[in-house]
Structure 1
Amino acid sequence: MNLLSRRSVLAIAAVVDVALHSRSAPVAAKALAARHKLPPRHLETLLQGLVHAKILKGVRGPRGGYELARERRRITVGEIVRTAMSLSTADPDDLGANSLLLERVIDPTVKKAGESFLANLDAITVENMCETAEQAHVLDDEKTSGDFAI
C-alpha cells in the first residue's frame, strides 16, 4: 500500500531522475517525461514547483532543462513530498462540516501519524535513492531497454 499521492511519487521520481541523469548536462523535461511515460506538460507544474522550492534549478536555452539546486545529500524525500503536497489544488481543510469525533480524535491522530511518516522520509536523502538506483542497475537497464529512435 502506497501512502503517498501520485504527485508525490512523481516528484520523488523526477528529482532522483534528474540527480542520476544531470551529471554532464541538464535534464530536459521532454526526456524526463519520456522516461516516465508521461506527457511533458503533465510534469511541468511539478517541476516548476520543485524549482520554486529550490530543490531543482531550471536552466534556460536550447540545451536547458533541470538540475539539482543543491547536493544530493542535502535534499530529503520528505522535503520533496512536502513540496508536492503544497502544489495540490485540493484544499484538505475544505471538507465541509466536522464532527467532534473528527475534530478531537481522528484528525489529531492522523496528523500525528502523518508527521511521523514525513519524519521518516526526512531521513532518506536523494543520495540514498541514487545509491539504491545504481545498485539496482537502473541506468544500465535504461540503456539496454531499446526505447529510443534514430
Structure 2
Amino acid sequence: MSLLPRSARLALMAALDVALHSRARPVSSRALAARHELPPRHLESMLQAMVRAGILKSVRGPSGGYELAKERRRLCVGEIVRVALRAEEEANGAESPRLLSSVIDPVFAEAERLALARLDEITLDSLHAAALVLGFGHEDAAEGDFDI
C-alpha cells in the first residue's frame, strides 16, 4: 500500500528515467513508456505538467523528447510529487462530501505536509545514484553534471 497516488510515483519514475537516460539526447515519451511497459499516452500529460513546472524541458524535433530543466542536485523529490498531486487534483476536481472534507481530509493533509517536507530533503541526484548502483541507466550518464 502506498499513501502517494500512482500518478505521483509515476511522475517521480519518469523524472528519474529522464535523469538516467538523457545525457546523449533527450528521452522520448515513447522510449520512456516502452522501458516501463506503459502506454505512451499514459505519461504525456504528466510530462507536460513537469515541463510547465520547470522540472523538465521539452525538446522539439525528430530526435526530441525531454531533458531535466535543472541539475539533479537541485530537484527535490517533494517538488516532483507536488506537481503530480496538483495535476491529479485538477483532473479529479470533484467536490468532496462534507464529512470527508471537514474531518478526514485535514488528517491526511497534515500527513501529506509531513511527508512532503521529508521528500524535500531527498534530491533526484540521490535517487539517480541509487538507481545506478542497482544497474539502471548507463554509467556514462553519471559522468559530470553541469554547474551554473
TM-score over 0.5 (shorter chain):
yes
Counterpart secondary structure, 1:138:
coil
CA contact (8 A) 2:20 2:136 kept: no
Look up the match of 2:46: 46
Give runs of aligned pairs for residues 9-48 of structure 1, distance below 5 A: 9-48=9-48
Provide the aligned length of Structure 1 versus Structure 2: 136
- Aligned pair in 2 of structure 1 residues 65, 102: CA closer, same or farther (>3 Å)? closer
CA–CA separation in structure 2 for the residues paired with 1:58 and 1:108? 36
CA–CA separation in structure 2 for the residues paired with 1:109 and 1:42? 30
Please say which of residues 33-42 and 51-60 is displaced more in the overlay: 33-42
Look up the match of 2:92: 90
| TM-score between both structures, scaled by the size of structure 1 | 0.85
Higher RCO structure (Cα 8 Å, ≥6 apart) = 2
Between structure 1 and structure 2, the one with the greater Rg is 1
| TM-score between both structures, scaled by the size of structure 2 | 0.86
CA–CA separation in structure 1 for the residues paired with 2:40 and 2:56? 17
CA–CA separation in structure 2 for the residues paired with 1:119 and 1:56? 22
CA–CA separation in structure 2 for the residues paired with 1:79 and 1:55? 8
Question: What displacement does 1:110 show?
Answer: 2.2
CA–CA separation in structure 1 for the residues paired with 2:134 and 2:39? 26
Look up the match of 2:142: none
Cα-Cα RMSD: 1.6
Counterpart secondary structure, 1:14:
helix
**Alignment deviations for residues 18-57 of structure 1 (CA, whole Å, 9 cap, x no partner):** 0010011100111001001111111111110010001000
Give runs of aligned pairs for residues 137-148 of structure 1, distance below 5 A: 137-139=135-137
- Aligned pair in 2 of structure 1 residues 82, 102: CA closer, same or farther (>3 Å)? closer
Q: Percent identity?
A: 51
Look up the match of 1:76: 76
Gaps of 5+ in 2: 139-148
CA–CA separation in structure 1 for the residues paired with 2:66 and 2:133? 24
